[in-house]
Amino acid sequence: MITASTDIKYLKGVGEKRAVVLKNKGIDTVGALLRYYPRDYLDWTDIKPINTAPLFEKVCVKAKVLRVDAEQKRSGITIYSVICEDETAQMTAVLFNQKFLAESLRVGREYLFYGSLSGGFLFRKMSSPKIVPAYNNSIEPIYPAGRDMSSKQIKNLIKTAIASLKLPETLNEEIRERNGLCSLEYAIQNIHFPLNREAFLKAQKRLVFEELFVLRTGLALLKSREGKKAGYVIKQGFLSDFKKLLPFSMTSAQERVIKECMRDMFSGYPMNRLVQGDVGSGKTVIAAALMYAASKNGFQSAMMAPTEILSIQHYKTLLKLTEKTGIKCALLTSSVKKREKERIKEALKNGEIDVVVGTHSLITSDVEFNKLGFVVTDEQHRFGVNQRGSLASKGDNPHTLVMSATPIPGTLGLILYGDLDISIVDEYPAGRQKIDTYLVDTSYRPRIYNYIKKFLKEGRQGYIVCPLVSEREEVDITSAKEYYVNLSQGEFKEYKLGLLHGKMTSKEKEEVMTRFAEGEIQLLIATTVIEVGIDVPNAVIMVIENAERFGLSALHQLRGRIGRGEYKSDCILVTDNASEDTLKRLEIIKNNIDGFKIADEDLKLRGPGDFLGSRQHGLPPMKIADLFADRDVLELAGKEAKYLLQNDPDLSKTENLNLKAEIIELYKKLNKE
């Protein structure tokens, strides 16, 4: 029998070979196939008059065939001109070599033509239209297809799947009724093969709601530690002791945020807080102050960062701060040597280590803690929601803090992080110099190099972010190496250069970063591995090659590597691609330094769909809902989720079991990524 979880290869018409193609599309079960929604529809019911139909976009017209002319071209192509008309105008449909189709058309009979119209004032033409008999009133699904499998083949498989299986209903009747939602069965049928436009809209409404509801209920479950007692309560903040360890005084924003966090940690309930602050606003110190307090109160802390380089940097920062305090710090990343790793794990387990910093290797199953009371995730948008949950689950309802520089526009942020309290660091450390940003083409390169040299001679340091030449990391790294060799043997022969890229071992990376931080390397040639978090205040100039290849938030993050100290900094964006769009985007970076402003402008320019690509927020990719356009539904779904969990906190009631299964499925998928 076929169920939703049946391997796709067992569906009639699939087999081993096609199963591979489907699995590459993320369709590994029959259920997943039913959830593979059309990318678009060919709506044969949406008929436009020929004379007023918009030009150069796909439209459907209904016209009577008057004549079919065939013209033999020397190149061996036969061009058929189908002259036809509706009540409003005449049109010529042009077919290339489609003998069978052309000859099947009957003069005097009506057909539907689908394609894009071109022409002038009196003349309309449609090249290679799709043509079906006029009585066809279907809405045809179009699936994301590829060379391996056509939309039509997918359509046929989905037909088979619908006939062999009914997906279990995930929304209980009460919820459906209250929100005017159709059944899942109806929705699946009509999202693939809409009976008419109305049925399609009904199906869409239900599936959008369902997707967001599953998401929100899942998020709410993740947060269900709420109401539970924290395993560890801090009794005293030790903030004034901590401040004495710092070489600078904190900004009032930093101090305020720390106090907000401490209030949570005093409360007896676990803290669950997001600290949002632009690049360079000094979030690390906030985490450090709290970790300090945690260890002083006798419990362990863990800090997770998305890259090895960043973990190492945080580790060093903490080491420096805690030097004379007796607090024990450790670094745990995937490339720590096995023996060392075993030693650290042992020490974590028996409580000898107070603070551990690392990449996601911290969440592997064999890392155990003695009394993990506080968990920090830096650059949280780089992690999935589930990952931050995994780390927290190693403690006894620990306090959690997530830090992010990626601003999420307004209300949406509140909705998505609805399970978090938010603190905002809205102030930069004093004495920050502003960064000037320039936009130039490659003809300026000699001047740029001279400009860099001027800074290096003054004792400052800089970065050159290498061109992205392809989508493939290896190729980019090769080009970074070449770039490095060229500069260090040529233009910058007299200077000390370093190279940093993602494929170096952790040891190599650390060595380069240390030499750079200590000023031994003057100019660092790097790929985007330096995008997150790197902090070397003496670095004051950054050149970004192929600036057009980077997204705005990446550029903002990159530029955030300079302007971190007392010196004025300059960022030079180099591009030869002067298309209007590119210029517009780069102008935004040039004219704005505030990450929130940039995100806002970015949103206006690109539209929300893009901006909220799943990488940005760590949420699963949406199949049908649009987190921005459907934000009303998102909010509604949140309310319903809350209400549901009040009545059935662990979703154990029969009518909610299918929903629970769906949520587990969603987070399982996330864990795999």
* Span 274-303, contacts to ligand ADP by CB under 6 A: 277, 279-285
Size of the site for ligand ADP (CB under 6 A): 18
* 333/538 with CB nearer ligand ADP: 538
Question: How far is 277 from 264, CA to CA, in rounded Å?
Answer: 19
Name residues contacting ligand ADP, limited to 232-251 (CB under 6 A): 248, 250-251
Q: Within 10 A of 332 (CB to CB), how many other CB atoms are there?
A: 23
Binder of residue 270, out of Mg ion, ligand ADP, none (CB less than 5 to 8 A by kind): none
User: Judged by CB, which is closer to Mg ion: 381, or 509?
Assistant: 381
Q: Map the footprint of ligand ADP across residues 421-440, applying CB under 6 A.
A: 429
What angle in degrees, to the nearest 10, is found between the helix axes of 184-192 and 197-222? Answer: 120
Helix or strand holding residue 277 (H, E):
strand 272-277
Which residue number, 250 or 523, has a Cβ lying nearer to ligand ADP? Answer: 250
**Is residue 533 within the footprint of Mg ion (CB under 5 A)?**
yes
Measured from the CB of residue 487, what is the shortest distance to ligand ADP in angstroms?
27
What span, in angstroms and rounded, lies between the C-alpha atoms of 88 and 105? 21
The amino acid at 75: S
**Alpha carbon of 569 to those of 251, 365, 496: distances in Å?**
21, 44, 20
User: What is the DSSP pairing of strand 539-544 with strand 569-574?
Assistant: parallel
What is the nearest approach in angstroms of ligand ADP to the Cβ of residue 466?
A: 22
Q: Name which of 390 and 404 has its Cβ closer to ligand ADP.
A: 404
Contacts with ligand ADP, 251-270, as mask; x by CB under 6 A: x--x----------------
Q: Which does 498 bind (CB under 5 to 8 A by kind): Mg ion, ligand ADP, none?
A: none
d(CA 670, CA 197): 34
Q: How far is the CB of 533 from Mg ion (least distance, A)?
A: 4
User: What three-state secondary structure class fits 580?
Assistant: helix
Cα-Cα-Cα-Cα dihedral sign, residues 552, 553, 554, 559: positive
Q: Tell me how far, at minimum, the Cβ of 663 lies from Mg ion, in Å.
A: 32
At its nearest, how many Å lie between ligand ADP and the CB of residue 278? 7
Q: How far is the CB of 560 from ligand ADP (least distance, A)?
A: 6
Name the amino acid, one letter, at 611: F
Cα–Cα distance, 318 to 323 (Å, whole number): 8
Helices (H), 458-560: 473-489, 506-517, 552-559
Q: Which of residues 486-545 bind ligand ADP (CB under 6 A)?
A: 533, 535, 537
By beta-carbon proximity to Mg ion, the closer residue of 223 and 273 is 273
285 binds, among ligand ADP, Mg ion, none (CB under 5 to 8 A by kind): ligand ADP
Residues near 287 by beta carbon (within 8 Å), at least 6 away in sequence: 275, 303, 376, 378, 401, 403
By CB under 6 A, is residue 387 in contact with ligand ADP?
no
DSSP per-residue letters across 236-292? ---HHHHHHH-SSPPPHHHHHHHHHHHHHHHSSS--EEEEEE-TTS-HHHHHHHHHH
CB nearer to ligand ADP: give 92 or 251. 251
* Token code pair at residue 21: 């193609």
Q: Exposure string (b/e) for 560-569, b if CB count within 10 Å is 16 or more?
A: bbbbbbebeb
Q: Which is nearer to Mg ion, 84 or 302 (CB)?
A: 302
| Of residues 279 and 543, the one with the C-beta less far from ligand ADP | 279
Give residues in contact with Mg ion (CB under 5 A).
533
In the complex, the residues that contact ligand ADP under the rule CB under 6 A are 248, 250-251, 254, 277, 279-285, 405, 429, 533, 535, 537, 564
